[in-house]
Chain A
């Protein structure tokens, strides 16, 4: 039965796309979560809709058009974040809703597209992943992995403490823009499989799940990618056998993993603490000599 699934070319494409999405979405999402911009992927997803609409209107591949528009949108968001001190959130809201409305308008204007078409982009669809889409997804995913892994030390530093990173002489503005661009590209990669409305979930939920039980950035990274791949492939497989949309299935699976790991977190932490105590690293010292004391002077002089 599994062989039968792997035999069908559209499932091969869908599974490859799911695998790449499972890798790339958490690999970028982790930096967004680290800098507490977990919802940025959601915003980019909205903007990407305009790109999809444009793609239909100009009869080009919507993935490339969505990439272009969402990269522009992400750069704009990053610039607003950097320079726009006041009213930044209002400007972002305009961008999000404008992007969504623009997508609906443009797709209705085009000859080939309709809002029914848009639905496959909003919620993901397996049967519609074309050969062209797969080529686009592979290329874009390669870029995302290259940036996210290759610059992990630099991106970690910038996302951890931006001001400190600037004082180390890192090109912080360029790295910030790179994160924004990479996030936008990831949205386009994930669009076909998970759908624009659920992209952000795959960027954030695996990271949130991983950090329930991890102590280091490295472990969080590895675990969130592992979770991402698992739920993306499992969700895609499920949607092959049951007639359910892949995006929703993948996100529900990811949330299930989050719940399980959260439940595991407390006993795991308790066991760690016990091992520490046994090894004596946490040796209790309940009697400690206090440093120099003084007598009360009864006078306050301020």
Chain B
């Protein structure tokens, strides 16, 4: 892989309440790599990505983004974040363009948006195939379209690193294909991606490496489990050759 890691996590430990959620995680993502974090519910995947962007404080360990220690990292325009949400709406109506524009704030934090900012927002909306709905209220969109809005918002800043927490949750197959296409273009352009997934699904061919978590520990770091036939289906047990004695459980139902 690349020599300079974009994300570097060493010995990360974190607790939620009194429960230990991350128990010494090591993770490195090189430039241009696409890494999937897999694991069952409660295995610590979400906590892991949220600690990478500084939303969960570590009790021990070290995180670097682009070679800078997280605490001193300020170039947030290089990072696009897609949080785990079922909706892009809030208490007041907002159009697709208004929500996506918020993603551009990491480049133009204060002051008026330039023509370039507006063009980037428009590009991001078109990338996820919502060009015709830019002026529509997000509350009028379907679940999959909400997810596309969230991804467009992350893309608006034209980030070098995309961090996505279950971008495919509750998204139908057609929308998953659209999202996979969007992601493919980003990856082709050299974007680094770290994403949490329940199952590989349509993204499977894009993924360079899978990191499997269980009970807050990394139990597998290597090529993604091959998806053949029913392997790609939700609820399937991804039994991996590395764990010979005990099956790894990564599926939704396991």
Tell me, yes or no, whether B32 is within 8 Å of chain A by CB: no
Q: Given that A161-B83, A167-B81, A291-B177 are contacting pairs, would A34 and B109 also be in contact in the complex, using a CB cutoff of 8 Å?
A: no
A102-129 Cβ-contact flags toward B at 8 Å (1 or 0): 0000000000000000000000000000
Tell me, yes or no, whether A211 is within 8 Å of chain B by CB: yes
Q: Given that A153-B113, A301-B236, A302-B237 are contacting pairs, would A34 and B105 also be in contact in the complex, using a CB cutoff of 8 Å?
A: no
Tell me, yes or no, whether A226 is within 8 Å of chain B by CB: no
A162-197 Cβ-contact flags toward B at 8 Å (1 or 0): 011111111000000000000000000000000000
Q: How far is the CB of A290 from chain B (nearest CB, A)?
A: 9
In the complex, are the beta carbons of A170 and B105 less than 8 A apart? yes
In the complex, number of A-B residue pairs with CB atoms less than 8 Å apart: 107
Q: How far is the CB of A86 from chain B (nearest CB, A)?
A: 10
Tell me, yes or no, whether A132 is within 8 Å of chain B by CB: no
Tell me, yes or no, whether A157 is within 8 Å of chain B by CB: yes
Contacts A153-B113, A166-B54 aside, 12 further interface pairs with beta carbons under 8 A come to: A33-B91, A154-B105, A154-B109, A161-B90, A167-B79, A170-B109, A211-B92, A211-B93, A215-B140, A218-B98, A301-B237, A302-B254
Name A212's closest neighbour in chain B (CB-CB).
B93
Q: How far is the CB of A133 from chain B (nearest CB, A)?
A: 31
Q: Given that A170-B109, A301-B237 are contacting pairs, would A165 and B93 also be in contact in the complex, using a CB cutoff of 8 Å?
A: no
Interface members, chain B 205-254 (any A CB < 8 Å) = 230, 235-237, 251, 253-254
Across the interface, which residues of A come within 8 angstroms of B140, CB to CB? Answer: 215
Q: Which residues of B does A touch, CB under 8 Å?
A: 53-55, 74, 76-77, 79, 81, 83, 85, 88, 90-95, 98-99, 101-103, 105-106, 109-110, 113, 132, 135-137, 140, 153, 157, 173-174, 177, 230, 235-237, 251, 253-254
Interface of B is mostly: loop
Across the interface, which residues of A come within 8 angstroms of B85, CB to CB? Answer: 161
Tell me, yes or no, whether A160 is within 8 Å of chain B by CB: yes
Q: List 27 A-B contacts (CB under 8 A).
A: A33-B91, A34-B92, A153-B102, A153-B113, A161-B88, A161-B102, A163-B83, A164-B81, A166-B54, A167-B81, A167-B106, A168-B103, A168-B106, A168-B109, A169-B106, A170-B105, A215-B137, A215-B140, A217-B95, A219-B93, A220-B92, A281-B132, A297-B230, A301-B237, A302-B236, A302-B237, A302-B251
A130-167 Cβ-contact flags toward B at 8 Å (1 or 0): 00000000000000000000010110110111011111
In the complex, are the beta carbons of A216 and B237 less than 8 A apart? no
Complex Cα distance A207/B88, Å? Answer: 19
Across the interface, which residues of B come within 8 angstroms of A217, CB to CB? Answer: 92-95, 98
Give the size category of A's interface with B.
Answer: 35 or more
